[in-house]
Structure 1
Amino acid sequence: MSSAQPVRIPIDAEQSVSGLLLAPADARAAYVFAHGAGAGMAHAVMEAVAQGLAARGIATLRYQFPYMERASRRPDTPRVAHAAVRAAVAAAGRVWPELPLFAGGKSFGARMTSQAQADTPLPGVRGLAFLGFPLHPAGQPSDERAAHLAQVQVPMLFLQGTRDELATLELLRPVVERLGTRATLRPFADADHSFHVPARSGRKDAEVLGELLDAMAGWIVGLA
């Protein structure tokens, strides 16, 4: 397992956030990704994704949103979160100017990245990869949160568990279909929003994560 390099990412003249860089010697692309609403960049899933992508030739920059830096439980407003997304992508471009860039994140981080891209394209980003896109709150099925995706003009990859309570597949599939060739949905049987699978599925979480990382790396390299 490789060690990630801590960095500071300036957002504006007064504010910066923490980040972690991890780059294999043979990196073919870089993925800039943000955490979910309840856990920061050091969460086990975030670490596993960074390490797994590094083993597959993808460099990563994961970073904190400002509220997580303050240890607050209240997520940032979209305006603040979007600024952090843009700052992180810009930082990755400075560190790896020769690498094709991709962006996204886990849950909240995925949606904030897609919103930022929809508002104004992120410089140099060739595609967005979402680790559990939060289509709606748990128990409140709706596709309103997907409206902005029509404004995203780069390829999108939706990595989703079939038991994800924040993205009912009956609603997500039509969303992806409406996006046309720009969007790809990769479902993972029996996985929940955190890509956990129950013992009765006959599979283990590590197996699902391996499949997810294979699919993600393949998609990124195919566009790089």
Structure 2
Amino acid sequence: MDATDATDVRAMADAAGAAETSDTTETVETDAGTARVTWHRADRPGLVLALGHGAGGGVEARDLRALARVLPAHGVSVALVEQPWRVAGKKVAPAPRTLDLGWRGLWPVLEGPGLPVVAGGRSAGARVACRTAAELGAVAVLALSFPLHPPGRPEKSRADELLGTGLPTLVVQGGNDPFGRPAEFPLGGAGGPAYEIVEVPYADHGFAVPRRADLTQERALEIITGAVTEWTVSLG
């Protein structure tokens, strides 16, 4: 999927003008501790998109906020999920198995509205979604800034997590992400990629773009929200 084609005029207008609202916030007890879910609800939802944060930040990340602002107008309720370690005020994320444990524990709340759920997240949250989506009954996976490898260590690939979802998967990746640039992502076999990938030109791991780039920060977010809107609509 071409990043430029992913955003139409309507999606751009929504990204620029939609109001960011938080309907409800609830805490959820899991075996990993207390998690928190903040809902941004669509008036007539047909889908829930659950988004976990990365290991270096929370749900205030620019891409997560933008999706929560835009997608409800397109019939997608967005659930921003804060892992127990973040709710507890800790500065360092736990091991992957603990992250997965927390995610599994709050899944019944995400399924509560009785709608199909897309498992998603950014960075470490994307890895959690990839590892657990099939077993939890998600209908698809959204991976934002998937950390394909540690910076400067391409031999430490995490491609198996991405390739093993077994579900429709969309990757949105910064063109200058040190954790894996789009060209580094592997193919999924003879049939082509096991996922779709959208590039945000010039963007780093946090989807920030340099001031000197031929792309504004606003436009970078429009590429993200437009691509995810188009993809979630296609799932229906």
For this structure pair, what is the TM-score category when the shorter chain's length is used for normalisation? 0.7 to 0.9
Is residue 126–residue 154 contact of structure 1 (8 Å, CA) maintained in 2? yes
TM-score, scaled to structure 2: 0.83
Q: Distance in 2 between matches of 1:179 and 1:201?
A: 35
Q: Name structure 1 gaps, 5 residues minimum.
A: none
1:101 partnered with 2:117:
yes
- Choose which of 53, 68, 72 in structure 2 pairs with 1:50: 68
The residue number in structure 2 matching 1:114 is 130
The residue number in structure 1 matching 2:157 is 144
Q: Name structure 2 gaps, 5 residues minimum.
A: 1-18
Deviation at 1:202, TM superposition (A): 2.5
Is residue 29–residue 221 contact of structure 1 (8 Å, CA) maintained in 2? no
Q: Distance in 2 between matches of 1:105 and 1:177?
A: 25
Is residue 48–residue 118 contact of structure 2 (8 Å, CA) maintained in 1? yes
* Regions of 4+ moved over 6 Å: none
Deviation at 1:219, TM superposition (A): 0.7
Deviation at 1:185, TM superposition (A): 0.9
Deviation at 1:177, TM superposition (A): 5.9
CA RMSD, Structure 1 to Structure 2 (Å): 2.1
The aligned amino acid for 1:198 is: P
The aligned amino acid for 1:20 is: T
SS of the aligned residue for 2:135 comes to: coil
- Choose which of 13, 17, 30 in structure 2 pairs with 1:11: 30
Aligned residue pair count: 217
1:165-211, CA deviations, whole angstroms, 9 ceiling, x for partnerless residues? 11133321x24567846411111211111111122223211111112
1:169 partnered with 2:182:
yes
The residue number in structure 2 matching 1:29 is 47
- Choose which of 167, 183, 203 in structure 1 pairs with 2:195: 183
1:83 partnered with 2:101:
yes
The aligned amino acid for 1:218 is: E
**Alignment CA distance shift 1:191-1:45 (3 Å):** same
The residue number in structure 2 matching 1:201 is 213
The aligned amino acid for 1:193 is: H
1:134 partnered with 2:147:
yes
Calculate percent identity across the aligned residue pairs: 26
SS of the aligned residue for 1:121 comes to: helix
The aligned amino acid for 2:70 is: G
Deviation at 1:22, TM superposition (A): 0.9
TM-score, scaled to structure 1: 0.88
The aligned amino acid for 2:181 is: T
Is residue 163–residue 192 contact of structure 1 (8 Å, CA) maintained in 2? yes
Deviation at 1:105, TM superposition (A): 0.4
SS of the aligned residue for 1:115 comes to: helix
Is residue 28–residue 221 contact of structure 1 (8 Å, CA) maintained in 2? no
The aligned amino acid for 1:112 is: V
SS of the aligned residue for 1:51 comes to: helix
1:17-57, CA deviations, whole angstroms, 9 ceiling, x for partnerless residues? 11101112032311001001111123444222211222333
The residue number in structure 2 matching 1:222 is 234
Is residue 182–residue 197 contact of structure 2 (8 Å, CA) maintained in 1? no
**Alignment CA distance shift 1:67-1:100 (3 Å):** same
Is residue 158–residue 184 contact of structure 1 (8 Å, CA) maintained in 2? yes
Deviation at 1:6, TM superposition (A): 0.6
Is residue 40–residue 72 contact of structure 2 (8 Å, CA) maintained in 1? yes
- Which gives a bigger RCO, structure 1 or 2 (Cα 8 Å, sep 6+)? 2
**Alignment CA distance shift 1:189-1:45 (3 Å):** closer
Q: Distance in 2 between matches of 1:189 and 1:111?
A: 22
